[in-house]
């Protein structure tokens, strides 16, 4: 692969939406990519639309846990390797499926995930900041938003 020149033309993206993302396996995968000549790696997470084909509401806690796991991957990887993270927000699982988790119900999750990434974690201060930004009195991350 290194001799093919491909690592100089593309940057791989590692996708994982699991709340219990295996940090160690992701770090090992990044090391494998580096040995193959890839100097930069992207991550892909989801802030909505990745927990059930007919999900109507976004379970923020699931997506927050996924982002916190990605932050652990980042902390165990050399900083010059990480190119960025793509926060995906799926509307459906495939072209034949019904729409799920329309964008408006996913906005609080997007705000929580972005703030967690920006602040390097989630805390009461981050929660209060999201509530203020969205004009909400009580952000619920461990249950479905009402």
The string of pLDDT tens digits covering residues 11-38 is 999 999 999 999 999 999 999 999 999 9
Structure confidence at residue 87 (pLDDT)? 96
What is the share, in percent, of the chain residues with pLDDT greater than 70?
A: 99
Average pLDDT, whole number, for the chain? 93
Structure confidence at residue 56 (pLDDT)? 87
Structure confidence at residue 145 (pLDDT)? 59
Between helices 103-119 and 60-75, what is the axis angle to 10°?
Answer: 30
Listed by start position, the domains of the chain span 1-132
Strand positions, DSSP E, the chain: 13-15, 41-48, 82-89
Nearest to 61 by CA among 101, 116, 137: 116
Confidence of residue 146 (pLDDT cuts 50, 70, 90): low
Q: Given a cut of 90, is residue 69 above it in pLDDT?
A: yes
Q: Tell me which fold the domain 1-132 belongs to.
A: TIM Barrel (3.20.20)
Output b/e per residue, 85-104; b: 16+ Cβ within 10 A: bebebbeeeeeeeeebbeee
Structure confidence at residue 85 (pLDDT)? 97
């Amino acid at each position: 692969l290194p001799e093919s020149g491909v690592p100089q033309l593309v940057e791989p993206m590692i996708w994982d939406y699991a709340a219990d993302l295996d940090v160690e396996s992701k770090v090992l995968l990044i090391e494998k990519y580096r040995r193959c000549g890839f100097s930069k790696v992207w991550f892909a997470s989801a802030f909505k639309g990745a927990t059930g084909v007919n999900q109507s509401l976004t379970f923020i806690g699931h997506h927050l846990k996924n982002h916190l796991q990605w932050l652990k991957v980042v902390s165990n990887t050399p900083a010059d390797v990480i190119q960025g993270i793509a926060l995906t927000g799926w509307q459906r699982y495939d072209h034949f499926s019904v729409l799920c988790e329309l964008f408006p119900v996913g906005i609080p999750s997007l705000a929580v995930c972005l703030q967690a990434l920006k602040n390097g974690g989630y805390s009461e201060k981050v929660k209060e900041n999201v509530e203020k930004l969205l004009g909400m009195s009580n952000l619920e991350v461990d249950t479905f938003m009402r």
